[in-house]
Structure 1
Amino acid sequence: MSNLESLDVAKLRRKLRETAEAAGDVTLAETTLSPAANRVASQFRETHKSPAMLIGQLGIFEFTLLLALTILGLVLTAGTDGILPQLGIAAAIAFGYSLLSHMADSYQITTLRQPLRSVKRCIIALVLSFALAGITTPVLAPTPFLMSWLPGTGLAACLIFGLGRFALALALKRWTRNGLIERRAVIVGGGEPAKQLIRALEQQEDNDIRICGIFDDRGGDRSPNIVAGYPKLGTVAELVEFARGTRIDMLIISLPISAEDRILQLLKKLWVLPVDIRLAAHANNLRFRPRSYSHVGEVPMLDLMDKPIRDWDSVAKRAFDLFFATLAILLLWPVMVATALAVKFTSKGPVLFVQRRHGFNNEVINVLKFRSMYTEMSDPTAKLAVTKNDPRVTPVGRFIRKTSLDELPQLFNVLRGDLSLVGPRPHAVLAQTRDRLYGEIVEGYFARHRVKPGVTGWAQISGWRGEVDTDDKIKARTACDLYYIENWSLLFDLKILLLTPIRLMNTENAY
């Protein structure tokens, strides 16, 4: 028996992640894509709707629709007098339907694509939720009109939801064919394993996986230029550049699990990308516990890396950002106006300073700050970091930098969507320490760009605010950023946000 046969998949994933994190990052040198890769990339630069987002929207819509139908039935039956207790019944029915639908896998994309199966599970959940209301409500809250209200409302709900689910199944088939709903995947590794994987994916009925191409370092017979009708677009190093310029959801590694060293080498380059990384397991004789696998249709996959803050988590984080950024602007606008006036009337030049920084997935964004330097001495590239008593900094600039008032315009970056309120702080594109770029100092530095950067972050409230003048400081910042990404939650964001004003009182390293 091989050592891998007794290895738990969680341990395998942990070993892969730890080795990748410790081993290094992609090179900073720009990689030129082939003409074929550029043509394919141009087709996938636009955003698309993921199945997970569609399912969430459907769940919210059906809950709201059922709540509205039951309330309408109450009003038509009993009028509006004394309706308040009955609203609880309506909410209980809608909640019960949602719970039963999830328990019956009614919101699985494979179920939603099959009209009869989807309608059947939907109606069963409706009947059960109305039946439970009919059994429990007379005991808990007797209502004389209940028997005339429940059957009619339940029948109307079954008819409306049934027709809706049937129409949705037909629409899903059309949307999938047109590429409006899909998961975009790239195959890593060519040759026969890639061919078997592609054939297995193509056999899935109503498959939502869109294969964008194949990337492999090998050539010749081991990895021909065309595999199962799909072109090989380049090497793994070129894949990193390709994925940063397109909207890719998943990388599927088509290598046997026994090729552990090769998989680790791939992850050293790929783990910095904000995508799911899966290892195809359909052709392996080795089998782990069933819960160790995720599936694309019937094709088993081992989850090596997950995209952080995905789908509805990203929606929740965006809502968090919009709410608190708007609140901060409403509360702090007098401070912002006063700061702008102080900058304007104490030195020549514009009030705002715009700097190019790395954003999500290494995209370059323009970050706003109140100008703190003399205009003729400003350094948009940030190649020369600000030091203590730096002559380039104006007297007003020295104060607003110590108090972080210069960062307040970034609230508008948050509203625009370039930044999040909380996340890894965005660094200037050419930021460096002692003539070395950050990416040359820190192994895995670019993995901090797997999420949107933030106005404040875990590193800043952990004591790593201010000048980065040593290798250890940027390493510590990056370690904090990676910890934040791995442990993100809205409560974690709220904790960082609440602690930020307290930590700003320590101005020792801010100048």
Structure 2
Amino acid sequence: MQKTYFGIPLSQVIHILALNVTLFYLIPETYRDGIWGVIYYNLAWLFTTHLTRFYVKLRKVKLLSVAINFGRTLTLYGVLFFTSFIFLNSSAYSFLYLLAVYLFFCVQIIIFRLLFNWARKTYRKKAFNQSKVVVVGWDKNLKKVRAIFDSPEHNYKYVGFFDNKNSKSPTYLGPIENCYKYIFENDISEVYCIASRLSKEEIISLMHIADNSFKRIKIIPDNKEFFSRAMSIELYGSVPVLNLRASQLELEYANLVKRIFDIVFSSLVIVLILSWLIPIIFILQKFDSKGPLFFKQKRDGVNKKTFMCYKFRSMTPTKDCDTKMATKNDMRVTRLGNIMRKTSIDELPQFLNVLKGDMSVVGPRPHMQLHTQQFKDFVDKYLVRHFLKPGITGLAQVKGYRGEIVNKSDIVNRVRYDIFYMEKWSLELDIYIIYLTVRNIFKGEEKAY
């Protein structure tokens, strides 16, 4: 595949140039008061774009994903930009002026990206940099990859396919034996092989030709229609193995980062909040209702291992506490419990579970064991959520799927969000979910009962 390597460096240079020109003319004190401010703003931009992978070039990335990444980058840099004025001299400027300056910089970045994309598309339409491809073999997968080949955005020029079964398709180029000569005579850049239509000997022959003729060869495996968006290929020695439920948290360093974050965050909550809140709740409960301070219940954790989950008791003790979820206007909820449940204070003791290692700050919410047995039988992929440690809060909860299960769609959508979280985990996502959780607590939630 032919590639151009100047796009990313060019974008970096122009973005840095736009930033410095904006600062030089609109906030000149940045340059007059010394070099440290200049270094800070430039390093902050490079750090932010590295963190969000702003300059990583992905051919098949969706436009929505690009827009989300763009917004995330500018938002994060905006935080660093405005934080700097706490330490640097900005008394001469109002907040509105500084906001206008930053928005002006953002507009420059957006305009450049639009112009750059327009120029790239124009360049590709003129076929200056297209990769000519042929496919050897035919099956249902060819229809799917054709959507990629035919899109100008991806810079391919699809020529046609070879197959031993005759076809009336205008892109049919003949039997497989004719492909070897055709590849050489027509300056083909990439060869895609449908594994289900080729013998081992034919694939080895194509690999040998490609390796000795500066052609790229790619294999489209016989996937039996079971691939997923989270699939990854792992090598066990020289044997490729498909992992259909890949997650970043399968990596040791990712698990270590998440565990360190859990320990630090839960320790802060325990020391700064629970240390004084527990005695207060204990005293208030004595006046409100009879029963223990904590409510303890067996829940299914990671790999379906049972653990004891802690909460502040918010209900009067009953025999059905391990089988019946809280419902709206539940008569079992005490007056103090009603306040705690609406503000999620009753969940705070679970930070003890986090410190012990049974739970994480963010993850799928643990369900009663009885409900796990019920849901796994009629909710597709329900047990996948048990590949992760359960969390105090989660993506499903901040998206509105917390509390009582009224309709089947409630648990189905909860599972979908849990699986999405598992597949897309990052420390930034955890922090974002925590932010949304805190915001929802102050904002109030309809299902907080």
Q: TM-score range by the shorter chain?
A: 0.3 to 0.5
Q: Which has the higher contact order (CA 8 A, sep 6+)?
A: 1
TM-score by length of 1: 0.42
TM-score by length of 2: 0.47
